[in-house]
Structure 1
Amino acid sequence: MRENYKFPITMWLSSRLLIVVAMLIIAPLIPVPENGVYATFSLDILSAWDSSWYEKIATYGYDFSSDVKQIHTVAFFPLFPLLTRVLMTIGLPFKVAGTLVNNIAFLAALIVLYFWAEELYGQKAARWATAILAWCPYSLYGTVIYTEGLFLLCTIAALKSFEKKQYVWATFWGVLSTATRVPGVALIPAFLFVSWKENRGIKAYIASLTTGLGIILYSLYCQLKFGDALAFIHAQKAWRGDATGFALQGWWKMLMQITVGFTNWEFGYIKDPLHPLLFLIIITCGCLLWHFRLKLGNMKFRYGLYFLWLLLWLLTGDEIFKIILVFGGIYLLWLSRNKIPLVTVVYGFSSLALILNTGITASAERYAYGIISLSIAFGLLLERYPRWGYPIMCFFAILLGHFSVRFARDLWVA
């Protein structure tokens, strides 16, 4: 058993070491433009964007008013700041406490995932799934002061417990999931559907419904304190306005920026022909490479695709990775629907449906990373094709370092 712990711990430690080196050593050495933010050699680099709102909650509590155009802390769910506050009561500053909560939870999530996947599929698949979760570029949010680590731990443990018919534990972890982030509610339809499909009995239905206690208790708190049981939903308007449903315009804009370039999209015509020309050349080369793959051989074919993908990423930026993660994740989940537990499949599709119906595209890739179903499905795929897996992990490492530097300089990542 002790031997089996080594792999998830090694994946956690090595990937976190890359983040620390990128944020504390590399980022401060990079010159920044005028009015840019310099990275400092301190824990301050782990706190940016949403981190400041968690600090306000842990330090001063929640706030809300009827002016939903202002940003209110009630939009953020309570479990993470509550656990951080517990550590602060023993004398730890917020940045230390928040970092400890997220990192310890993320390490625990990797361990739980590893043992669950090993039990289901064997050691190789477990290692790939764990490595993907640890090295995916958005695993950065399992180290900085965000809720990703805690949310992943709670959802993985809840899904594992329900799949093994351990309904008390499924309820416990499910309640913690819905008290951590809104997407935790995707567990409820997943549990209910599996309870019906597999005719599991009354205990399964009770566990399914009581999973929502996390969000119900938070709603009750909002009613008692602010007189608005849905204050956390109303407060979200400060970020997304009145946008609801599928963000067709946002996704279309992203697709056009990938194909014709940001400048041409802004002007509404082809002002800079270089971007669409380069994009067309890369896609044409990819098609030719696929057509002549048998004549070229596996090695030349693979290295050719690696090179073209690198060029495509350098040309289009993060947008292509976001689209592949979200929409490619839907396709991957569908292909893997008969290979992974049913509760995990339904949870994955429910979570993706939530992501695609927020009315905005911001942070969609980070939320997709938090869907453990995708890591498991991708792990099974790379187990079958490990020669594709190794360069993908190298690319992940490059992006993880790149994102870490950006976050340390207070630049938007996801």
Structure 2
Amino acid sequence: MEGRAAPDNDQQRASGPNRVLAGAAAAAAGAFGRWPWYAKVLAVWALARLFSFGLFLAVAARQELNPWGWEGTPSYLQFIGAWDSEWYGKIFSGGYPAEIPRDATGRALENEWAFYALFPGLVRALAAVTGLGWEVLGPVVATAAGFGAALMVYRLFAMKASAGTALWGVVFVAVNPVSPILQVPYAESLNLLLLAAALYLLVQRRYLAAVPVVLVMCLSRPVGVAFALMMLVLFIRRWIRRRTEPFSLADTWRMIVLGLASGVGALAWPALAWAVTGDLRAYTDTETAWRGDHLLLFKPWFDEAERLFGPVLGPAALLLLVLLTALYLNSGSVRRLGVELQVWCAAYLMYLFAFLNPLTSTFRLLLPLFPLGLALAFLSTSRAYRWTVAAGFLVLQIVWVAWLWRWTPLPGGGDYPP
């Protein structure tokens, strides 16, 4: 009788460590699965921020010529304190100018009024208590706000998806290509926290509770116009459907109050700039100082399209972009977000199309579209798909930091802003 073949010793030795590693990975995954939701979210966010921290250090080691006067390799705090962080630092130290600086032709020059006061004001208040400076407190406040935003984003996503899918949505927000901005002294992380909280209350139809959140949010970043537009669309939708979907009198006036508050919040910063400087166009002229032109709705997109693709293909390419965006916003995965988040994304994109001058900073300004992170998670429950998307985002982070955050002078001077 022929005996069973003896096992290969080399194969046994190779499979032993593999089984140990597989067992350890399964045990770690099981332990992670038993953590409370907030611990999982904070752990995911911490790992993402640690990756971005290492990425900043690696790219900083390759920074040479720069306009900030660094000699040798800049430190982490020096490196993340560049670009608009410098403007926020100026506001922290000296506030806002009493009048808009202008050149000989009357055109506004770049100045602090382009940057909203909530973030530097919060850092300044903490500095008065702790005695620490901008260089330390700016990144600390931005990073802490990012962790708060992660928790709020999860709570919002968990209203629309299972716990696992909601966590993957947070993963995609945490590692998205521009997510390193959530730990530098910019207002993005604070705005993300407040926006997620406002949308969370909106989805719950706690309209009056959302009012103070929205008003404060409108002092962090210019998102009030988009929020007011979203409220208008949602109100009209509920009014049209009132015969089939209950729309009580209480909800009617509460939505009106939140919509009006959003409009007031959107106008608050331009009005404050006007009040301080006595210049009605203080804010709008300052915003357009970076583009060297007057504020003309939609025009910069057509100009940029024509510059990139020519006078015929340019408008066609822009039209194609708009059509593809509209199709995506009506896709199944985006509709699963619910009407409030779907309309928010559409309203914010409309705001960008109307007011934004499309530059390399456009990538960063897409961050308020964070609900699309959950839409990505809805596309497939496949682990291979989700890990591939996360890995792709990490690679794009490297591209974003190495290309845009690192100063590389252009032939005509300056550099593309992040």
Identity of aligned residues (%): 22
Preserved CA contact (<8 Å) 1:344 1:373: yes
Structure 1: give runs of 5+ residues left out of the alignment.
Answer: 260-322
Preserved CA contact (<8 Å) 1:58 1:85: yes
| 2:397 partner letter | L
1:300 alignment partner in structure 2: none
How many positions carry a matched residue from both structures?
A: 349
Cα distance, 1:87 vs structure 2: 1.6
1:147 alignment partner in structure 2: 187
> Tell me, what secondary structure is at the counterpart of 1:182?
coil
2:53 alignment partner in structure 1: 20
Judged with a 3 Å threshold, the aligned counterparts in structure 2 of structure 1 residues 34 and 101 are, in CA distance, closer, same or farther, namely closer
Match for 2:278 among 216, 221, 227? 227
Cα distance, 1:29 vs structure 2: 3.9
Preserved CA contact (<8 Å) 1:174 1:212: no
2:83 alignment partner in structure 1: 49
Cα distance, 1:96 vs structure 2: 1.6
Cα distance, 1:390 vs structure 2: 1.6
Once residues 386 and 325 of structure 1 are traced to their aligned partners in structure 2, the CA distance between those partners, rounded to angstroms, is 30
User: More helix by proportion, 1 or 2?
Assistant: 1
Judged with a 3 Å threshold, the aligned counterparts in structure 2 of structure 1 residues 52 and 29 are, in CA distance, closer, same or farther, namely closer
Match for 1:357 among 341, 354, 379? 354
1:410 pairs with 2:407: yes
Preserved CA contact (<8 Å) 1:175 1:212: no
> Tell me, what secondary structure is at the counterpart of 1:48?
coil
* TM-score (structure 1 length as normaliser): 0.76
Preserved CA contact (<8 Å) 2:63 2:73: no
Preserved CA contact (<8 Å) 2:83 2:417: no
Structure 2: give runs of 5+ residues left out of the alignment.
Answer: 1-33, 239-246, 314-318, 409-415
- Alignment of structure 1 residues 116-265 onto 2, 5 Å: 116-198=156-238, 199=247, 200-240=251-291, 241-242=293-294, 244=296, 245-246=298-299, 247-254=301-308
2:375 alignment partner in structure 1: 377
1:76 alignment partner in structure 2: 115
Cα distance, 1:17 vs structure 2: 0.7
1:334 pairs with 2:369: no
Judged with a 3 Å threshold, the aligned counterparts in structure 2 of structure 1 residues 9 and 47 are, in CA distance, closer, same or farther, namely same
1:40 pairs with 2:92: no
Judged with a 3 Å threshold, the aligned counterparts in structure 2 of structure 1 residues 172 and 62 are, in CA distance, closer, same or farther, namely same
Cα distance, 1:413 vs structure 2: 5.7
Match for 1:3 among 22, 36, 39? 36
Cα distance, 1:231 vs structure 2: 1.5
Once residues 63 and 189 of structure 2 are traced to their aligned partners in structure 1, the CA distance between those partners, rounded to angstroms, is 31
Pick 1 or 2: higher relative contact order, CA cutoff 8 A, min separation 6: 1
Preserved CA contact (<8 Å) 1:114 1:126: yes
Match for 2:62 among 30, 34, 44? 30
Of stretches 336-345 and 161-170 in structure 1, the one that deviates more from structure 2 is: 336-345
Cα distance, 1:2 vs structure 2: 6.6
Preserved CA contact (<8 Å) 2:284 2:295: no
2:94 alignment partner in structure 1: 60
Cα distance, 1:365 vs structure 2: 1.7
Preserved CA contact (<8 Å) 2:63 2:74: no
Preserved CA contact (<8 Å) 2:127 2:133: yes
Once residues 173 and 325 of structure 2 are traced to their aligned partners in structure 1, the CA distance between those partners, rounded to angstroms, is 14
Of stretches 247-256 and 47-56 in structure 1, the one that deviates more from structure 2 is: 247-256
Judged with a 3 Å threshold, the aligned counterparts in structure 2 of structure 1 residues 147 and 255 are, in CA distance, closer, same or farther, namely farther
Cα distance, 1:251 vs structure 2: 3.3
Cα distance, 1:238 vs structure 2: 0.9
Preserved CA contact (<8 Å) 2:172 2:390: yes
**Structure 1, residues 258-297: CA drift from partner, whole Å, max 9, x if none?**
x9xxxxxxxxxxxxxxxxxxxxxxxxxxxxxxxxxxxxxx
| 2:172 partner letter | I
Preserved CA contact (<8 Å) 1:138 1:369: yes
> Tell me, what secondary structure is at the counterpart of 1:343?
helix
Judged with a 3 Å threshold, the aligned counterparts in structure 2 of structure 1 residues 134 and 325 are, in CA distance, closer, same or farther, namely farther
Judged with a 3 Å threshold, the aligned counterparts in structure 2 of structure 1 residues 404 and 11 are, in CA distance, closer, same or farther, namely farther
Once residues 225 and 184 of structure 1 are traced to their aligned partners in structure 2, the CA distance between those partners, rounded to angstroms, is 21
Cα distance, 1:133 vs structure 2: 0.6
1:344 pairs with 2:341: yes
| 1:345 partner letter | Q
Judged with a 3 Å threshold, the aligned counterparts in structure 2 of structure 1 residues 97 and 389 are, in CA distance, closer, same or farther, namely same
Once residues 65 and 341 of structure 1 are traced to their aligned partners in structure 2, the CA distance between those partners, rounded to angstroms, is 43
Cα distance, 1:79 vs structure 2: 1.1
* TM-score (structure 2 length as normaliser): 0.75
Cα distance, 1:347 vs structure 2: 1.4
1:401 pairs with 2:398: yes
Cα distance, 1:215 vs structure 2: 3.7
Preserved CA contact (<8 Å) 2:208 2:254: no
Once residues 405 and 302 of structure 2 are traced to their aligned partners in structure 1, the CA distance between those partners, rounded to angstroms, is 32
Preserved CA contact (<8 Å) 2:80 2:185: yes
Judged with a 3 Å threshold, the aligned counterparts in structure 2 of structure 1 residues 138 and 326 are, in CA distance, closer, same or farther, namely farther
